[in-house]
Amino acid sequence: MSDIPFLPFAKPTISEEAIAEVVDCLRSGWITTGPKVARFEQMLSDYHGGRTALCVSSATAGLQLALMALGLEEGDEVITSPMTFVATLNTIVLAGGKPVLVDVVPETLNMDMNRLEDAITPRTKAIMPVHFAGLPVDLDPLYALAEKHGLRVVEDCAHAIGAAYRNQRIGTFGDIQVMSFHPNKNMTTGEGGVVITADPAIAKAVEQLRFHGIDRSVFNRFSKSGSQQYDVALPGYKANMMDMQAALGLHQLPALDGFIDRRTELAENYLKELQGIEGLELPAAAPATDRHAWHLFTVRIGENAAGLDRDAFMQAMKELHIGTGLHYQSTHVFRWYREHLGWQPADFPNALDIGNRICSLPLFPTLEQADQHRVINAVRTLLR
């Protein structure tokens, strides 16, 4: 066994061109935000129907700045899903809001649109849907409710760049979307993220917030001395992207659709080869009009039928030199949230149950057929 190399559950695909672009950046003498970020933002804008693209240091920073741009006040509520990475909830709190959760549909792991309206109160300011694993949220009813109640929408698209809902690319609906370029995500800049928006006021606010609150346009109108001058509109953050990061992104975005095609092939193969195993629940495919980005391939272990629980399954896979991931334990069980928002484990029973049984199998564009077969055989053996 020890001679079998360890198979990670995720792995970035970095081309030689991308590496050369990073080296070019280092040799150029310009490392931080500059011409490569400008080119990458233009590329991201083109990919999202000409909307404004503002690169930031992470999706976490992007979500926080986007929410701050909405001007949340103490007690303002933001509705989101419990089945997400905790950054989604943290950024609501950090931006001065209060997270309100709507439980997920077990089949899709996305927020239940039938329960969304019940969660809306006079204090609701925004909805923050999460496209879990890259499977698009049902956006038509979501945006209909947002319009009916006058709410803003910030889509957490950390898993969903390149996905599509009703034949339209995610990132071209509504107000604001935030994508992640963390190494485990579908495309990477090392760390990094982008805020996509169709709203010029949001764009301006995020642009200021991401870099010290500096506003060059205001001051320049009254100044003869040019670009060294600036004014400060508000105390901002330091969340800009470096050219060294954008150098990677310039070669990742053109490859993204190919990455997703390969992920889709591998996911369809898992769906085919793993069906009918007792104690194993498989993820839902997307409707024919949608494109799943297949960021994750998550299975759920039914302990009674499987003969082992999720944690034992992950441990056994590790012993077979196969990496798995835990995406995610439901966020409502974390201590700070229990203590400050009074959430009980039973408040969101679907997310609680799923979080106790879910696990991600290896899925990345360069996963080879032989390695995928090793995973499939391991699952079949462990759950026989």
Q: By CB under 6 A, is residue 210 in contact with ligand PLP?
A: no
**Which one, 187 or 233, has the nearer CB to ligand PLP?**
187
**Which one, 185 or 300, has the nearer CB to ligand PLP?**
185
Q: By CB under 6 A, is residue 159 in contact with ligand PLP?
A: yes
C-beta of 82: minimal distance to ligand PLP in Å? 12
Which string of b and e fits 90-115 if b means at least 16 CB within 10 Å? bbbbebbbbbbbbbbbbebbbbbbee
List the catalytic residues: 185
3-state secondary structure 251-268: HHHHHHHHHHHHHHHHHH
Residues in region 20-39 near ligand PLP by CB under 6 A: none
The residue range among 14-22, 58-66, 262-270, 334-342 that interacts with ligand PLP, by the rule CB under 6 A, is 58-66
Query: CA 311, CA 73: separation in Å to the nearest integer?
Result: 40
**Which one, 193 or 249, has the nearer CB to ligand PLP?**
193
Helix, strand, coil tally for the chain in percent (to 5): 40, 15, 40
The residue range among 14-22, 80-88, 262-270, 278-286 that interacts with ligand PLP, by the rule CB under 6 A, is 80-88
One DSSP character per residue, 44-59 reads HHHHTTT-EEEEES-H
C-beta of 2: minimal distance to ligand PLP in Å? 32
DSSP state of 365: T
Q: By CB under 6 A, is residue 298 in contact with ligand PLP?
A: no
Which string of b and e fits 263-289 if b means at least 16 CB within 10 Å? bbebbebbeebbeebebbbbbbebeee
Q: By CB under 6 A, is residue 155 in contact with ligand PLP?
A: no
Q: By CB under 6 A, is residue 87 in contact with ligand PLP?
A: yes
Query: CA 73, CA 62: separation in Å to the nearest integer?
Result: 18
SS3 289: coil
**Contact predicate 63/71, CB 8 Å:** no
* Segment holding 124, helix H or strand E: strand 124-128
CA pseudo-torsion sign 153, 329, 257, 178: positive
Query: CA 14, CA 8: separation in Å to the nearest integer?
Result: 16
- Judging by DSSP bridges, how do beta strands 280-281 and 297-301 pair with one another? antiparallel
Q: By CB under 6 A, is residue 355 in contact with ligand PLP?
A: no
**Which one, 92 or 203, has the nearer CB to ligand PLP?**
92
**Which one, 139 or 378, has the nearer CB to ligand PLP?**
139
Interface map 103-132 toward ligand PLP (x if CB under 6 A) = ---------------------------x--
Q: By CB under 6 A, is residue 317 in contact with ligand PLP?
A: no
**Which one, 131 or 280, has the nearer CB to ligand PLP?**
131
Residues in region 171-200 near ligand PLP by CB under 6 A: 180, 182, 193
Q: By CB under 6 A, is residue 297 in contact with ligand PLP?
A: no
Q: By CB under 6 A, is residue 81 in contact with ligand PLP?
A: no
Query: CA 286, CA 266: separation in Å to the nearest integer?
Result: 15
The residue range among 152-160, 316-324, 338-346, 369-377 that interacts with ligand PLP, by the rule CB under 6 A, is 152-160
Q: By CB under 6 A, is residue 252 in contact with ligand PLP?
A: no
The residues binding ligand PLP (CB under 6 A) are 58-60, 84-85, 87-88, 130, 156, 158-159, 180, 182, 193
